[in-house]
Amino acid sequence: MGKEKTHINIVVIGHVDSGKSTTTGHLIYKCGGIDKRTIEKFEKEAAEMGKGSFKYAWVLDKLKAERERGITIDISLWKLETSKYYQWTRRQLELARSPSLPRKLRRLNEYHPQYLPPQS
């Protein structure tokens, strides 16, 4: 039996347009969570839309509206495994200031209840 791996949870938060999606996507790429060919595809598609610098953000920004507008609309989770660690990358963007906060919290609770405290 192999050595048990350490689990790491990463949460990325920050101000609007501070590069949360780009940083997270780049981290996933550097850790081997997505291949170079996919990043090159995102780079080409982003350049065609005049958003060439968004290639790493598109790792997590999957919705058409997110890509067209250059904003994150939905919560994203990404699990990746390295030779040493298992990592869950969780990105919640502008959650505290979002006008749709209750909807996002309900969705998070529905799909990933372990991330929220129990409701009384």
Domain segments of the chain as ranges: 13-115
Among residues 57, 60, 23, 55, which one has the least CA distance to residue 41?
55
Can you give the pLDDT at residue 105? 63
Structure token pair of residue 82: 């390295």
In angstroms, rounded to a whole number, what is the distance separating the alpha carbons of residues 35 and 58? 13
- CB proximity list for 26: less than 8 A, separation 6 or greater: 56
- CB proximity list for 33: less than 8 A, separation 6 or greater: 59, 78, 80, 89
CATH topology assigned to domain 13-115: Rossmann fold (3.40.50)
Can you give the pLDDT at residue 46? 94
Can you give the pLDDT at residue 71? 84
In angstroms, rounded to a whole number, what is the distance separating the alpha carbons of residues 39 and 26? 9
pLDDT in tens, the chain (120 residues): 567 777 777 777 777 788 888 988 998 898 888 999 999 999 999 999 999 899 999 998 888 888 888 888 777 778 877 777 666 665 543 333 344 555 666 666 676 666 555 655
Amino acid at 79: K
Can you give the pLDDT at residue 98? 40
- CB proximity list for 119: less than 8 A, separation 6 or greater: 109
